[in-house]
Structure 1
């Protein structure tokens, strides 16, 4: 029994819940991070997305059980290894959806729409969309965007279009990097694991990776640039007031752009040199420079938005 329960915990992939932290992006950039009500709403949205994503992981593993048995890593998953029977996995996934989907409507009708769209989209992805070239990448990216905008709609935030473009670009960059790494990892077994990989020539994957890497940092730079100037606190004014540069009032969020550029460059290195881009959450948790970069970026963003200005 203990082994079965541990297998069930592994099957819902708690490590991948790190993707659901995207829900908090709206809370941070909308300037309402310190609002207690919005904090609770965002936390509820995060927990609900953890439940929904786990349900889709269970269903996806049931769809992919034969292919996963051929994968060097995925064959060890509880469902692929036979530890968790398929009927139990499907039943548990449906139970999670039936119980928690009504709660998402109680949180916010707009969040319910995001959750339902996510669930339906992932079901179609597991069933057949993952086998259609380019559409598979778009669906993966859309899942990330829905997480972010689920958070936006939960707290009724209003962010400019460059926020959407930036999130979409980063999502596509991660999705295409995933496919690039999968092709490298599987090599000769691509046809038996995922036929779609055969339709992704390396030249196309390289071109798409370059395109979305560029758009990711560039759209973020535009988003940061278009944020209102921040009036620095008196202490900052006294320190930098003697310089000709407008340190007393400036677009301080632009200071985070070089960090984002480095993060994109580091991820490209991970894809091409370390060949580990197949699992973005594993990269974030295992690659020390990437994790350090993300922490520094987060500290800077929160510090600039909430503590630097008046």
Structure 2
């Protein structure tokens, strides 16, 4: 069979050969997408929560510090693997979201097979830390199990979805105490849980404005309901945090009440600012960005931390009040 070329028939476009220079330029984009896939900014969750155990001065030692660092890295790896797995499972639903549709897997820039391999590598690194490092790591294992259940069905159940994620924040704090041999205060865990709920409910409130197609659980929420839930979570976070500082914090019986009194204006202002961002500025879809990049929130947090730091120094190195 012979093919006769004709000047009247245009040639079909031939596949363009990719030159090595173009392939080299494509690689940095893939590396960037893989980096974005693990949500690097969200590593702050582990960096801020796991080392809370070191607030208890009785746990301070070089060994404890090293174990905290390893536990933090382990939780970062666990979270990264969960993010990759969620993006694989939710790629079709994320395509309907105005922001999430730009994620590497949903946008098709990272293939499914590569994403699975990437997730396996992250879990392998996590397994190496857990297997080679002495110490209990059950909170991380519980975190992975809960997230498997969350990805499977819990994320579709209204109210249960935010409660499940809030528990995962609490597990980060517990992991820090587990590796240092301490005991997490009950009111501290309640505080972390209620603050997590507050931020998550605010996130759901913002998601309602983009429609419920990308998250079926949003059908169980409304703007009025989220407004009420924000109030309840705010009150619980404020009261539990102040009670922790007074009764179970590292300040001792003499300085606990002082720490509570000094913290009250900072805690109230932080809540007021967050509610202002939610209700007036109409923002709050990304809690990590608000906590780390909002200048007012950051300034308040720095002043608050400095105040408590001075109080802690006085409590352990000067005579009681």
- How high is the TM-score relative to the length of structure 2? 0.83
Deviations 1:53-88 (A, max 9, x none): 011000111111112122121111111111111121
Matched, 1:168 2:193: yes
Count of residue pairs brought into register by the alignment = 289
* TM-superposed deviation, 1:276: 2.3
* TM-superposed deviation, 1:211: 0.5
Partner of 1:241: none
Matched, 1:298 2:305: yes
Partner of 2:15: none
Partner of 2:99: 73
Cα distance in 1 between the residues matched to 2:206 and 2:133: 38
Higher Cα Rg: structure 1 or 2? 2
Partner of 1:238: none
Partner of 2:50: 23
Partner of 1:122: 147
Matched, 1:203 2:224: yes
Q: Which runs of 5+ in 2 are unaligned?
A: 1-26
Partner of 1:41: 67
Deviations 1:277-296 (A, max 9, x none): 22111112321111112222
Question: Could you tell me whether the CA contact under 8 Å between 1:104 and 1:115 is conserved in 2?
Answer: no
The 5-angstrom pairing of residues 40-59 of structure 1 reads 40-59=66-85
Cα distance in 2 between the residues matched to 1:13 and 1:64: 15
Q: 2:257 aligns with which of 248, 251, 272?
A: 251
Partner of 1:104: 130
SS of structure 2 residue aligned to 1:193: coil
Instruction: Go from structure 1 to structure 2 and tell me whether the alpha carbon gap of 1:60 and 1:251 turns closer, same or farther (over 3 Å shift).
Output: same
Question: Could you tell me whether the CA contact under 8 Å between 1:32 and 1:38 is conserved in 2?
Answer: no
* TM-superposed deviation, 1:227: 4.2
Cα distance in 1 between the residues matched to 2:255 and 2:51: 27
Partner of 1:278: 285
* TM-superposed deviation, 1:206: 1.5
Q: 2:242 aligns with which of 209, 221, 235?
A: 221
Question: Could you tell me whether the CA contact under 8 Å between 2:185 and 2:248 is conserved in 1?
Answer: no
Instruction: Go from structure 1 to structure 2 and tell me whether the alpha carbon gap of 1:131 and 1:229 turns closer, same or farther (over 3 Å shift).
Output: closer
Alignment root-mean-square deviation, CA: 2.2
Deviations 1:196-221 (A, max 9, x none): 11211222212211101100011011
Q: 1:5 aligns with which of 31, 41, 45?
A: 31
Cα distance in 1 between the residues matched to 2:255 and 2:196: 32
Partner of 1:245: none
Cα distance in 2 between the residues matched to 1:50 and 1:257: 32
